Amino acid sequence: MTTLAQLRKTALSYPETVEQATDSGSVVFTVQEKPFASLGTDKVVQLRLPASDVEEVLAAHPTAEALGRGAAPGGVRVPIGDINGQQLNHWVRRAWLSQAPERLAAGVAAGDGARPGEVGDLPKGIGGPATRALVGAGITSLSQVADLTDAELLAMHGVGPKAVRILREALA
């Protein structure tokens, strides 16, 4: 079952994401003050998505509901228990991309094509997901990695303990 912890980890893995708690007990994730994902006390995830993505989510999840924004949908509501972790990661990414400023979105998109061992002096052994996560966050060198704590590295979706160990060994 997908949880707030997974939503939090995924959302906070994107640059300039801020988590805020509301008076009603909801948790809202924003990028430059624009909300892109939230979880209410009713355990329903709200994602701000473009209309084409809304239709895809509605087709894939029978319990999903469109969020209205005038005549066009502005996102979806899905019970968190009805969406698996991999799907949640995908849709949070799409929501973040739809709300992020172009310069941030371009940086994350640049990470999509990053290949292990081909970015700056990042070691090949960290693997594809970690390489893409680092490049997506604008990190392309070991000197930039040195400025981050292990916790900050692990908070990036795709960077696990093995990648952190390899990065630290390369820095030593």
Give yes or no: residues 87 and 113 share one domain: no
Per-residue pLDDT of the chain (172 residues; tens, 9 = 90+): 688 888 988 898 888 899 999 889 899 999 999 999 999 999 999 999 988 898 899 898 899 998 876 555 689 999 998 988 889 988 999 999 999 999 888 878 877 778 888 888 899 999 988 898 888 888 889 999 999 999 989 888 789 999 999 999 999 8
Separation between Cα atoms, residue 11 and residue 72, nearest integer Å? 25
Q: How far apart are CA 21 and CA 110, in angstroms?
A: 31
**Both ends of the chain: CA-CA distance in Å?**
39
Q: Are residues 72 and 96 in the same domain?
A: yes
Q: Which domain holds residue 146?
A: 108-167
Number of structural domains found in the chain: 2
Asked whether 54 and 75 are in contact (CB, 8 A), the reply is yes
Pair (93, 75) in one structural domain: yes
pTM: 0.75
Q: 10 in a domain, yes or no? A: yes
Domain shared by 79 and 144, yes or no: no
